[in-house]
Amino acid sequence: MKVLGRLALGIIMSLIVVMWVYGLFFASKESVNKFGDEEWAARAQARCETTKQRLRDLADLRRLDAVGVEALSMRADIVDRATDELTSMLDDITRTYPVDDKGRAILPLWEDEYRRYLADRRDYADDLRSGDNSPFAESTFENLPLSERLGTFARDNRMPSCAPPMDLSV
């Protein structure tokens, strides 16, 4: 029985060593999100950077209690204007798709998730107008907030400005 236990432990340890050797030296290091059309990504990054600047210009850093009774409505208007900018950005960068097969396959998935995120922002603005000042609650996919998934995709493809803004974060 002792010999069988040692043999099982030896096999398990060997399998763990093999797994680490494979993972460190032989497994692909490329992200599942990464596509090959770097020119498309560079154009998207440039367009998204313009949008990021426009969003910075919209920022209203006043405290809600300092604005008065119309504070939530005013904040909702800012959220809608920012969401309009993001929608225009997404429309512009998805007019064309990357030229590589992987890019053409995965960009529509990213776009669909981004549009769901934009719809969540619209719902949040409606909540603000109704007097509900609850924190922004975005949709999730596989227990991850959409903004995290969208941001990872953007960073993996060297277009970090295309990640969703954190303007509604608490």
Provide mean pLDDT across the span 132-146: 93
- Residue 43: predicted pLDDT: 96
Q: What is the pLDDT of residues 95-138, one digit of tens each?
A: 999 999 999 999 999 999 999 999 999 999 999 999 999 999 99
> Is this structure's pTM higher than 0.85?
no
Positions of E strands within 34-165: 140-141, 144-145
Instruction: Identify residue 104 by its one-letter amino acid code.
Output: R
Among 55, 69, 52, which Cα is nearest to 129's?
Answer: 69
| pLDDT value at residue 129 | 94
Beta pairing partners, 144: 141
Long-range contacts of 98-101 (CB under 8 A, 24+ apart): 98/35, 98/36, 98/37, 98/40, 98/41, 99/37, 99/40, 100/35, 100/36, 100/37
pLDDT in tens, 10-28: 888 888 877 876 666 665 5
Q: Is 144 helix (H, G, I), strand (E, B) or coil?
A: strand
| pLDDT category of residue 79 using cuts at 50, 70 and 90 | very high
